[in-house]
Chains A and B, each alone.
Chain A
């Protein structure tokens, strides 16, 4: 190439293109014509072709110090760590209103009734940080199970649960005991306190259930006050508690926000039989020692048999 010659200067990009095999037809013809008469550019084209060959060798050459093994191993452990902290969530509509459902590698980690999506997202971000990702598809199955449950097509939510967001061991114990409550069965806060061996901690139990990270699946709606009052649910959403209980066949007085013991079948402590509420001295017993059932079906579903003296099977409570 002769730098004094304008044609040589102008044709250089085309030389590069021809050597790289990327030149258009007209550029290629121009190069061909020019190198036929210009020895310098002919030599230049040859050098670009050699260069292309050297560059092709780069693809095969190893780069000094470029062993990815260590980086790969570190990457794998970082990914495993992120994976274990990662939660996928989605926001769905349901018969109970909008719900946020989140789950991790270990199981369902949150169900939350939400008033606004923004507050729900910021709440989740506070808990899970960067590791919370919106991914409706990943929680779609959980949502379907929940819809089946809420429309009474199923009575079980047999999900693995991830309780890492529970605040303390005490809360985990409360949640675990609550999770044991069968479908259609009711106990009181004092009943849960008794079951976890802390009969005096009734208030603490109520607090722990107030912050239940996975309502519905951990059925804190089945826990009521000793007097029969529903007390609270998810802040001020006591109507949802009534809805969930009615779904399970528990007779809830409309807007009364309470359950009458007189309308419920009763199991005393861990007896294997269930009774009508007037059996023996049951009506005098503190709620803490009882489990109430809205229907015989649900009592029998957990393996209880009708009491042989009060015979709830022969004298059922009127609906």
Chain B
């Protein structure tokens, strides 16, 4: 019957992964409101497909792939979002070089990186977040982004190089930003 196990198991899936997927989506979309919607949508879709998921599937990687896919559609639908983000980033008060010196507060550094990441091109932003924040392997990232493992890795490295430059000067990221 429908309630058979599926329900209880899925409760566990929500409990185990919702917060992380939500955090990923906040970074991926740069908007907590969108992350609220997309995280719900991710789990609603997952719920409907859960019963046909092979028992040995990596549920976490699968959820990230669903979330990323929703993000992609969302991103396409919201072409203007990036311009808004870029404008917000450009107007940010932290200008010039930023490297944590000695006692720099980690949260400041994080905020600065988040700002740079938000301005990265879509695939680099997601590849970076999946790899460096959520520590997925390149194979899972490739599956999420629908590319090869090699290009998933290249996206992460591109992102790191841009972040590294962005820490010298935030403007670099924006001038290098793809149209």
Contact = CB atoms under 8 A, between A and B. Distances in A.
The answer to whether A and B belong to the same complex is yes
A36 interface: no
A61 B106 contact: yes
Contacts of B6: 138
A86 B49 CA distance: 12
A47 B40 contact: no
B18 A66 contact: no
Interface string B3-47: 110110010001000110011001100001001110110011001
A75 B26 contact: no
A127 interface: no
Contacts of B76: none
Q: Which of A71, A79, A141 neighbours the largest number of chain B CB atoms within 10 Å of its CB?
A: A71
Given A13-B157, A65-B32, A87-B2, A54 B14 contact: no
B99 A105 contact: no
Nearest to B104: A54
B39 A47 contact: no
A74 B44 CA distance: 11
Interface string B149-163: 000010001001101
B110 A133 contact: no
The 9 lowest CB-CB distance pairs between A and B, nearest first, are A68-B22, A65-B32, A61-B110, A71-B36, A66-B26, A57-B106, A75-B40, A54-B109, A63-B26
Nearest to B43: A75
Given A59-B133, A103-B1, A78 B44 contact: yes
Given A63-B27, A65-B26, A133-B51, A57 B3 contact: no
Contact of A70 (B36, B51, B100): B36
Interface string A106-129: 000000000000000000000000
A48 to B, nearest CB: 6
B51 A138 contact: yes
Q: Which of A12, A47, A82, A138 neighbours the largest number of chain B CB atoms within 10 Å of its CB?
A: A138
Interface in A46-68: 47-48, 50-51, 54-55, 57-61, 63-68
Interface string B109-122: 11101100000000
Interface string A132-147: 0101011101100000
A13 B3 CA distance: 51
A20 interface: yes
12 contacts: A13-B157, A54-B113, A57-B106, A58-B110, A59-B135, A65-B26, A65-B32, A74-B36, A74-B40, A79-B14, A82-B48, A135-B51
Contact of B2 (A13, A17, A79, A103): A103
B22 A105 contact: no
A212 interface: no
A50 B114 contact: no
Interface of B: 1-4, 6-7, 10, 14, 18-19, 22-23, 26-27, 32, 35-37, 39-40, 43-44, 47-48, 51-52, 99-100, 106-107, 109-111, 113-114, 132-133, 135, 153, 157, 160-161, 163-164, 167
Interface string A25-62: 00000000000000000000001101100110111110
A75 B44 contact: yes
A93 B38 CA distance: 41
Nearest to B163: A51
A141 B3 CA distance: 12
A133 B26 CA distance: 31
Given A71-B40, A72-B19, A66 B2 contact: no
A76 interface: yes
A66 B10 CA distance: 23
Given A63-B27, A141-B1, A76 B51 contact: no
B47 A82 contact: yes
Contact of A63 (B23, B48, B164): B23
Contact of B160 (A48, A104, A135, A141): A48
B133 A58 contact: yes
A50 B99 CA distance: 9
Contacts of A82: 44, 47-48
A88 interface: yes
Given A55-B113, A88-B51, 15 more contacts: A17-B157, A48-B160, A50-B100, A51-B160, A51-B164, A54-B109, A54-B113, A57-B109, A57-B110, A59-B135, A71-B18, A71-B37, A82-B44, A87-B2, A133-B51
